[in-house]
């Protein structure tokens, strides 16, 4: 079993360089999809790979240089795993523990929510829903509104209605009155 994993990892081995060895980010994602399960023999390496992959995905559009650095870090994790296998330092007797189910560390879940596919859409929808909720639901019922803003609005409405009553005489209220006034002259 160990030699099978080693042979598979060697198929996906790359050398680190200044730039990413992948032509597109989709190629990197396909490579990472193939490599990640092969690292399940060592939870620490697998978690490091996942973190570097997330960082590469998050920095893909923002900073190509940082993305290339994170991709090269993923390649380094794979190379390290191959070295561990060749030296015989891996141990399959340790049970795998999952850190993603830790209720005290929800940061990874939040990170996965917003920095995976369509995170921008999710973020925009969340901000829109939050602004609608906070602007419309409680403002009309708050003490600030009822004690400070509502009296000012009623004064403004009162002044506007008084101004309408004191309009200048002989001013037309609509287009038909204007044409009638012009005909009368």
Mean pLDDT in residue range 1-19 = 82
For the chain, what is the radius of gyration of the CA atoms?
A: 33
Provide the pLDDT confidence category of residue 169 given band limits of 50, 70 and 90: low
Q: Out of 52-56, 58-62, 153-157, 172-176, which region has the weakest mean confidence (pLDDT)?
A: 172-176
> Do 21 and 63 contact (CB within 8 A), yes or no?
no
Q: Could you report the per-residue pLDDT of 89-122, keeping only the tens digit for each?
A: 655 544 444 444 455 555 666 666 555 556 666 7
Say which residue, 71 or 86, is predicted with more confidence.
71
CA distance readout (Å), 5 to 13, 95, 127, 155: 12, 18, 45, 78
Cα separation, 43 vs 1, in Å, equals 17
Mean pLDDT in residue range 36-56 = 89
């Amino acid at each position: 079993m160990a030699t099978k994993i080693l042979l598979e990892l060697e198929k996906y081995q790359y050398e680190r360089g200044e730039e990413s060895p992948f032509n597109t980010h989709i190629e990197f994602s396909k490579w990472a999809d193939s490599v990640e399960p092969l690292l399940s023999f060592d939870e620490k390496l697998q978690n490091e790979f996942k973190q570097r992959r997330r960082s590469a995905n998050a920095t893909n559009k923002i900073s190509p240089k940082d993305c290339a650095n994170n991709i090269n870090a993923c390649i380094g994790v794979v190379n390290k795993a191959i070295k561990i296998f060749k030296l015989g330092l891996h141990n399959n007797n340790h049970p795998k523990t999952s850190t993603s189910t830790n209720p005290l560390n929800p940061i990874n879940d939040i990170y996965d929510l917003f920095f995976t596919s369509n995170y921008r859409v999710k973020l925009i929808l969340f901000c829109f829903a939050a602004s609608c909720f906070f602007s419309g639901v409680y403002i009309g019922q708050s003490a600030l509104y009822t004690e400070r803003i509502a009296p000012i609005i009623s004064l403004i409405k009162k002044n506007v209605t008084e101004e309408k009553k004191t309009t200048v005489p002989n001013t037309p209220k609509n287009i038909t009155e204007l044409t009638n006034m012009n005909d009368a002259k």
